[in-house]
Amino acid sequence: MILAVTIILLIASLMLLYRAFVGPTIYDRILAVNAAGTKTVVLVCLIGFLTRPAFFLDTAVVYALINFIATIAILKFIEHRRLG
């Protein structure tokens, strides 16, 4: 069961990477990269669930926060052409 979930997540990540490279607009590409980051967080949580050490879940939370902040910063930069 867990192997099937992992395979499905990897296939979905490959489809998102395709959208990130071929996306018709910049916003589609940013959304695809953000969704791929979210799927990475889910995969790290899955690894943490299988191996039982708690630091995998801590790593997943930190990566999710970095993913969110980076997406907001990139969108703000695209809209205003500056971060400040």
Is residue 82 predicted with pLDDT exceeding 80? no
Would you call 1 helix, strand, or coil by DSSP?
A: coil
**Segment 12-71, tens digit of pLDDT:** 989 998 998 998 998 899 999 999 999 989 888 888 888 888 788 888 999 999 999 999
Nearest to 31 by CA among 17, 45, 10: 17
